[in-house]
Structure 1
Amino acid sequence: MTNRVSKVLTGIALLTAVIAALGIAGAHAAGITLALGNAVSLAGLAACAVIAVAAVLIALSHTQRYRERTHAWRLREAALAMLCIVAIAALSQAVVILDYLCVALAPLSIETDLVRFDALLGFHWLDLYRWVSAHAELHRVLEFAYRSSIVQLIAVPFILATTRRHDDLAEFITLFAFALLVAVLVSTPFPAQSAFVHFGITDPHTASTVSHYDLLRSGQLRQFNLSESQGLVSLPSFHVMLALLLAYAVRHVRHVFPAAVVLNAAMIVSTPTQGGHYLADVIAGVGFGVLSIVVVRRWMAGPRTAATTGPRATHPT
């Protein structure tokens, strides 16, 4: 494992612990009961198993007898990717608790302002939703693109690790953490009800996926099951931010980058109709996604420059 990635993973682990502690304490103070649920419990056990497997692979890579074979098969890199995926999943769960507490603060909801802003740009969400729904093939393509985010979050660490783009991998994990926190911090003072709910859309996988929003704001949701968590951030769209980060992360992997650009461009296009986002959410997602890349890139430029003066840890694809 490269020193830089190990430092990033250590930092993410500490950040996750701090956010989880704050979230648990905040939930207790607010009188909200937290439960893991079966899905999260199983995911936790799976994460422990993955960490154990990764530890074995790393240990083998340092054993003289297996060093050449593990290097050729890139088993150490696979272990690194596993640890990064666990870090992403753990941080996401911790931030979910924080996000729910922020929604429960219930500042003035701004969805009416977002609809008005969209109209000024000539965009009418309901018209677009009806048009996409009337074109079944297009709807399936957009749904596939929207749901691809989970698969990409697993694939990108493996791609970057196995191609030994360790600097890019460290940057991607840092970007993910930064963007996730930015999305929650921005949405807290500017919450918005999903377009699905605002426009009365009750199709499967629409309003039902954001039903906790009003329950939290009204104080009716007093028990929160992590296995049933929902994405309640409207502005900025984290899906749009993530699409930019995923494409940016593989920019140096020439055979993957073009496909990533196409897929994530489709993800951005799918966000209004598949995620119930306003056009304003998409625009904000692009803005804050680019901002996240600029900030993290500049922040990590110093360590990266310093690293180039020592032995190279990465190899060209």
Structure 2
Amino acid sequence: MRNLRSILVFHPALWGLVVLQSLVIVAWIAIDPRISFSLTRVFDPAITLGVCLLVAATAYGFQASRWPVIAERTRVMATGILFLVLSFTGVRFLNYLSMSLALPWADNMLDSWDRMFGIDWHAYASWLSQYPDILPYLEQCYILAAVSIPFIFMVLVALGRAERAKEFATLLYIGVFVTVCIAGFFPAEGAMVRYMDSQLPAGTFGPKGGVFFVEALRTVRESKEVVLSFAALPGLASFPSFHTVISLLIVYACRDNIVTLLLAAVGAGAILVATPVYGGHYFIDVVAGILLAVVLAAAYAAVKNANLSAPTFVVTHSTR
């Protein structure tokens, strides 16, 4: 019989964190009278989860067939997508719940940290606006960063890199979970709102560039009733920048092949260039995202190496 970790694909502790996350959300909704829950668009994730469960169960049954490798990779893919949908949906709810606390705006603090390091956000945005031909590509890289996560996971599994795919998904989930937990203490409207002026007018980077989340953030902070639903809603985390975490972890996941590594590095570079303007992030958000990604990757590698080097004890029974 396969062990539990093999069946679950990811470590049971990681699934436990998803369960704990769900319990916190349920308790929060029950306690806070401002918060309610709607089943709007529930069929989108429900169908995805149902298909993943069906495919995973079917593939598990075919592992003793003539195509065990294909069946195993299919099972890992389906289970992985199921995990990503469950975990990231819960994190999004936590993001909105934490922002509903309406803690003091952190824009002044974050901007002061930029200036402490000698970083001029307005100068950077003004410089980038001088290259309108590349702006659409930067915007698309920023938008596609999060969308690419399940596809990168599936490609890694399909290429026989299941362990690398599991590492990628694990680091991303822990990364977004930590990001949301920290970001709740640093709500910010962002640098684009702060620095829009006659030299950098609204719409320089498109109608939503750097401000796409602001209306939702203000609403969740000011509304007397906050309704959580499965509708597509923007992320509200500013510090640290999760897009920065995504970009670096994509590169880290592609480190085994020089071609994929270079392609990932180019894409990650475009995301990092775009993040301050299209995400409305202060540069300190990006710096914090880099540090978070590095710490997570190093911690994961350390734990993995410790497990691999742990001694194995064999108990033998002697007879007299």
Q: Distance in 1 between matches of 2:63 and 2:56?
A: 11
Once the 2 structures are TM-superposed, how far is the Cα of residue 87 of structure 1 from its aligned partner? 0.8
Q: Does 1:125 align with 2:125?
A: no
Q: Distance in 1 between matches of 2:261 and 2:208?
A: 30
Q: Distance in 2 between matches of 1:255 and 1:85?
A: 25
* Distance 1:104-1:58 versus aligned 2 partners, 3 A rule: same
Moved more, 235-244 or 79-88: 79-88
Instruction: Give the corresponding residue for 2:26.
Output: 24
Once the 2 structures are TM-superposed, how far is the Cα of residue 249 of structure 1 from its aligned partner? 1.3
Q: Distance in 2 between matches of 1:282 and 1:81?
A: 30
Task: Give the match's secondary structure for 2:213.
Answer: helix
Q: Distance in 2 between matches of 1:83 and 1:34?
A: 26
Instruction: Give 5+ residue unaligned stretches, structure 2.
Output: 197-201, 314-320
Q: Distance in 1 between matches of 2:223 and 2:280?
A: 23
Q: Does 1:145 align with 2:149?
A: no
Q: Does 1:53 align with 2:55?
A: yes
Q: Distance in 2 between matches of 1:229 and 1:211?
A: 11
Once the 2 structures are TM-superposed, how far is the Cα of residue 137 of structure 1 from its aligned partner? 2.1
Q: Distance in 2 between matches of 1:251 and 1:174?
A: 16
Computed over aligned residues only, the root mean square deviation of the Cα atoms, in angstroms, reads: 2.7
* Distance 1:240-1:111 versus aligned 2 partners, 3 A rule: same
Q: Does 1:193 align with 2:197?
A: no
Q: How does 1:204-223 map to 2 (within 5 A)?
A: 204-206=207-209, 207-223=211-227
Instruction: Give the corresponding residue for 1:14.
Output: 16
Once the 2 structures are TM-superposed, how far is the Cα of residue 33 of structure 1 from its aligned partner? 0.8
Q: Residue 73 of structure 2 contacts residue 162 of structure 2 at CA under 8 Å; is this kept in 1?
A: no
Q: Deviations over 1:24-62 (max 9, x none)?
A: 220231121112322x42222122112212321232122
Instruction: Give the corresponding residue for 1:160.
Output: 156
Give percent identity, aligned residues only.
23
User: Given the two structures, how large is their TM-score scaled by the length of structure 2?
Assistant: 0.84
Once the 2 structures are TM-superposed, how far is the Cα of residue 173 of structure 1 from its aligned partner? 2.3
Q: Distance in 2 between matches of 1:30 and 1:93?
A: 20
Q: Residue 5 of structure 1 contacts residue 166 of structure 1 at CA under 8 Å; is this kept in 2?
A: no
Q: How does 1:1-317 map to 2 (within 5 A)?
A: 3=5, 6=8, 8=10, 10-31=12-33, 32-38=35-41, 40-63=42-65, 66-67=66-67, 70-71=68-69, 74-199=70-195, 201=202, 203-206=206-209, 207-305=211-309
Larger radius of gyration: 2
Q: Distance in 2 between matches of 1:5 and 1:137?
A: 49
For these two proteins, the number of residue pairs brought into alignment is 302
Instruction: Give 5+ residue unaligned stretches, structure 1.
Output: 310-317
Task: Give the match's secondary structure for 2:51.
Answer: helix
Instruction: Give the corresponding residue for 2:317.
Output: none
